[in-house]
Amino acid sequence: MEKENKKTMYFVLSGLITLILASAVFLIGSLLNTNLTDTEKTAFLIASAVLTAIQILLFLGNLLAAKIYSKRIAKLKSKQIQADFELRKENAKNNIKNVIRNVQKIRLGMYLYAGLFLILMLSTILFSTLSGHYYFYFLPVIAAYSVIYRLIPQKNEFDFSDYSQPNEYPAIHTFAKNTAKAMNLDGDVRICFTQEDCAGIARFGNTFSLRLGVLFLSVLSEQEFEQILIHEFGHFTVDDLRMTGAARLYERIMSSPKKEILFGFFDSIFTYEYSMYVHSASVTLEEQADNAVVKYGKPNIAASALVKTSFLELFDNENMSILPESYFAPEEKRKDATLMLSKLFRNAIAERGAFWESILKNEIQPRNASHPILKYRIKNIGADDFEVSLPKDDSEFSKECAKAIEQLDKIIYEDDLDKYSEERKYHYLEPLRVINEWKENGEPLTAEQTREVITSFLSLLQVSKAEALCDRIIREEKNQYAKAYAYFIKGRILLERYDKNGIELMYKALELNDNYAEAVFEDIGSFCCLMGLQKELDEYREKAGNYRDNMYRLRQQTGVLSNSDRLSENDMPADMLDGILKYIDSIHEGNIEQVFTVKKTITNNFFVYPFVIKFLSGAKNESINKTMHLIFEHLDTHPSGLHFSLFVLDKETEAAVKKVKNSCVKKYK
């Protein structure tokens, strides 16, 4: 709400500035035009028309250039993008300042373009007033509002009300302030404790914002914590566009991409270049922040802290096998969720630390990673003699870490306490009901329901039972398309156990249903890098590149439906359509009014059959969600192997289906 209020304030401020400037120019013009001859007034009228035409041409040229640029980027093949990305990474490594200057030049170009537009607009207002013809006045005023809104510097104020007070955690705050001071960084330091993070930093005005994950803190010694702080503050000893006005401009453009079309071309270039900078330069920037440890800290102690950072990532990956039960299993909300995780993490380090270290020694650097992998970070800081051990709990730092965990648990417990029973119903009782009902019915293999049963087992952290059901489906299910989810989940379970046999199963899932493509490629890519499987990684990259070039953009279009699409009357076999409609008859709860379907042709060789459901006006959301879920499961596991999509009727989809004759295939009374 506060963010929206600030945005409204800037809109109002832009309007006031526009009004003041336009009125001032109008007043000047009104004072000057009293002594002008008719010839001079005619000349100013012509000038107004010319300037207006220039603005219109600039605007249209901007739109055309933005469209051409976007199409060019969209047509790039995966190998071209990757080659460009690798080149940018190399450039960032060799000369990060030059990379930063290139992005800043685009940002400066946008502001110069805005300034030029403002000059043209104010000149048009002046000349229009001098000519005595005011019909060239209004367009520049409207456009000037958009330009001024872009030119007003918007402060990135931050709410620190949820942050800890220095007197609550004096040891941790003193560590932070002293570290910043030792690195010649001036400013206040505020600290927010979280459950999931390791550590992160930002700067708002003259205040450093530190986010510290308590699970991570609980396994650090005082000296390790100091090295982590040095790394975080080290980001401000190097140039980093991620923490400047460029980052705020990027966020602003992405949050309102359709509201400032006057800057479409510059915004397209800037957002692409900035996003490429964030990804391609991040490893170099992290390495430079690590270099601060060499200058100000103790590399061997920093190395042990970095190892624990990687340990936390592996702990998160193994959560389903480590956690004793679902968070929502107890009837009453847990009061010690963070403390429980902290103990489990410490135990996992003691029990699995040696195994985790053996994995991390073989890891391959992912292409799109934001940080260097562990072995490169340790090599970069020159650490050659370090030991990973758990700290004792008798220091002031350790006591404050324990206090932070206790305070965070209180916040988590009190947050939405009244909604816990509803959340428990959704995350625990409903999956339990699904499983019990399935068991009472004799544990049947039903294409539309077994996926829900598998998901329910996983929600309850009953991984072995989910795996057993996957094995049974793979072994017994006749509907090949119903096997896709079983292959996918079984493959994911194996990968989480560090078993590379899961790769083959996930590829089988993809062959049967390309809805899993993004998840399959993400999981396989991450696994191959983590386990150091270069051969499998090369195969994955080839397949992922081919998919993104040939299918990804097509698949994106299956998720939208509008009257501008290439639509025609549904031509699927009558018995197939009847079968789908009979299934809808069997599962809907009297909440459907009409069913529509059409054929959407995306290319000459790729098409999809969208189904659009119109629900009764009084239908409840819970009933709608349940019905849509069941229909989706049926279509997604349909033995025909055709591509389907599913929508609830709204204004856009209604306009689409009503464009096609006989699109309504079912009416309910």
Structure confidence by residue, pLDDT tens digits, 183-211: 999 989 999 999 877 899 988 888 999 99
What pLDDT does residue 447 have?
78
For the chain, give the longest Cα–Cα distance.
97
Distance between CA 405 and CA 394 in Å, rounded?
16
Give the CA dihedral 477, 482, 487, 488, nearest 10 degrees.
-160
147: in domain: yes
Indicate whether 482 and 576 sit together in one domain. Answer: no
DSSP code per residue over 342-399: HHHHHHHHHHHHHHHHHHHTS----TT-SS--HHHHHHHHT--S----PPPS-SHHHH
Distances (CA, A) of 188 to 181, 207, 399, 401, 405: 10, 5, 24, 21, 24
Per-10-residue mean pLDDT, the chain, length 669: 64 84 87 84 90 89 89 81 85 86 90 90 89 78 81 75 91 93 92 88 88 93 94 88 82 70 87 88 89 93 94 91 91 94 94 94 90 92 88 87 94 91 92 94 87 93 95 90 91 96 95 87 95 95 84 77 90 89 88 92 86 90 89 85 89 91 88
Cα 365 to chain centroid distance, Å, stands at 22
Tokens of 617: 């006006």
Do 157 and 148 contact (CB within 8 A), yes or no? Answer: no
Indicate whether 525 and 580 sit together in one domain. Answer: no
Indicate whether 113 and 180 sit together in one domain. Answer: no
What CATH number corresponds to the domain at position 599? 3.30.70
Indicate whether 460 and 311 sit together in one domain. Answer: no
Indicate whether 659 and 537 sit together in one domain. Answer: no
Indicate whether 67 and 135 sit together in one domain. Answer: yes
604 CB contacts (<8 Å, ≥6 apart)? none
Indicate whether 12 and 40 sit together in one domain. Answer: yes
Q: Report the amino acid identity of residue 85.
A: F
Do 283 and 369 contact (CB within 8 A), yes or no? Answer: yes
628 CB contacts (<8 Å, ≥6 apart)? 613, 646, 648
What pLDDT does residue 414 have?
92
Indicate whether 571 and 595 sit together in one domain. Answer: yes
Closest CA to 110 of 281, 279, 271: 271
pLDDT tens for each residue of 444-472: 988 778 888 999 999 999 999 999 999 99
Taking phi over 0 as left and psi of -120 to 50 as alpha, with beta for the rest, 311 belongs to alpha
Indicate whether 135 and 54 sit together in one domain. Answer: yes
| Number of domains the chain is built from | 4
Global pTM value: 0.82
Q: 485 is in which domain, residue-wise?
A: 419-557
Long-range contacts of 324-329 (CB under 8 A, 24+ apart): 325/461, 326/427, 326/428, 326/459, 326/460, 326/461, 327/427, 328/423, 328/424, 328/427, 328/428, 329/428, 329/460
Indicate whether 512 and 589 sit together in one domain. Answer: no
Cα 322 to chain centroid distance, Å, stands at 27
282: in domain: no
525: in domain: yes
Q: Report the amino acid identity of residue 391.
A: P
Indicate whether 232 and 99 sit together in one domain. Answer: no
263: in domain: no
Distance between CA 471 and CA 411 in Å, rounded?
42
